[in-house]
Amino acid sequence: MIKEPENMDDLLFFTNRRSDNGAIKAWAHRPLCPKCKKGKMGKPVNEKTGKVAKKAEVYACHACHYEMPGSEAEKIAVVDVLFTCPFCRKSGEAKTSYERKLWQGVPAYVFECTFCKQKIGITKKMKAPKKKKAEDIPDDT
């Protein structure tokens, strides 16, 4: 059973989207530190200004200050999804990796409906999937 987050500070990613025939609420918790197992990994904080370094390519533990590359931290993170399927209209929940894959020509977090097995993508900034051109569709004649 997926539990909704109580605090946005513990998240790497959050989205809540609705369309005419479906809805998605998805989030990714910050992963636990692999070294101390107590702190959560996140972007490093500048000690002088107290601001988060948004463009940093490393993730740091806020408890023990252990650092690891962002790509490794993102591989261990998981996206939790509560959804209403746009195909079968049933509500369910799913988990997927915190790694964007190509889905209908657009980078997206991709998961599968537990009922109808259709693939559903969570695209960046509500980007629409690419439409197939007439010449891309095979002719059955």
> Residue 138 — pLDDT band, cuts 50, 70, 90?
low
The pTM score is: 0.80
Please give the pLDDT value at position 124. 81
Query: Where in the chain are the domains?
Result: 1-30+78-141, 31-76
Contact 116, 110 (CB under 8 A): no
pLDDT, tens digit (0-9, with 9 covering 90-100), for 19-62: 888 899 999 999 999 999 888 998 888 888 888 888 889 999 98
In the chain, the percentage of residues whose pLDDT exceeds 70 is 91
Q: What CA–CA distance (Å, rounded) separates 116 from 114?
A: 6
Contact 129, 105 (CB under 8 A): yes
User: To which H or E segment does residue 73 belong?
Assistant: helix 70-76
- Given a cut of 50, is residue 6 above it in pLDDT? yes
Please give the pLDDT value at position 135. 54
Of 87, 70, 69, the closest CA to residue 21 belongs to: 87
Please give the pLDDT value at position 141. 45
**pLDDT, average across residues 82-95:** 94
Tokens for 74, please give them.
């993102």
Lay out the sheet containing 11-19: strands in order across.
11-19, 22-29, 78-84, 91-97
pLDDT, tens digit (0-9, with 9 covering 90-100), for 101-129: 998 888 999 999 999 999 999 988 766 77
Contact 30, 10 (CB under 8 A): yes
